[in-house]
Homo-oligomer: A and B are copies of this chain.
């Protein structure tokens, strides 16, 4: 709770030290969130240190945790690419963008918790749901960042309204898929995760129907 409630909306251009700090802070946070995922995978405690079978059994029990690690690394990596892409369009940031970015990063930083939950309780529909909710929030906040950049005139390029609509739709499609996966999880948790992967064909379809000028909104 520092100084500066009710602040003036100062602008930091792309080539300023301050713009760079927003990015290096974001990159650091992404890197840590992605690396912490492995800390949640605890090393098994063996009764006989040299027993190959015991270790093999314990490691195979950890397979959901390994899947969870690489799945979440891919999910957060995809977010990082989207963040990298969106900020490449900006001519600078204002305080509104900095604050929205912090809210967005809060949920990115929180992701190691649902990832660990997913790894430990892959068969539990509630674990899947918690993960889907957090991931949907991150995807939804991408839209908030993009629309703020548009409204506050932070973009380096001119975007027509239909391009913005298309970009919003493209960012919201994972939100819809994550939401859809929640009821599916109560029937079958594996099927729920499969729903998440529908984002790949959906992305290809959205790319087909994109309006002219929307190329720049892609990764």
Contact = CB atoms under 8 A, between A and B. Distances in A.
Interface residues of A, number: 101
Contact of A49 (B123, B142, B217): B123
Copies of this chain in its oligomeric complex: 4
Given A18-B84, A82-B2, A31 B25 contact: yes
A59 B5 contact: no
B113 A38 contact: yes
A70 interface: yes
A88 B174 contact: no
A80 interface: yes
A28 B38 contact: no
A166 to B, nearest CB: 10
A47 to B, nearest CB: 12
Interface of A: 1-8, 10, 12, 14, 16-25, 27-41, 43, 46, 49-52, 55-56, 59, 69-70, 73-75, 77-85, 87-88, 95, 98-99, 102, 105-106, 109-110, 112-113, 116-117, 120-121, 123-127, 130, 135, 139, 142, 167, 170-171, 174, 177, 196, 199-200, 202-204, 206-207, 215, 217-219
Shortest Cβ-Cβ A-B pairs, 5 listed: A5-B203, A2-B82, A4-B219, A28-B31, A7-B218
A202 to B, nearest CB: 8
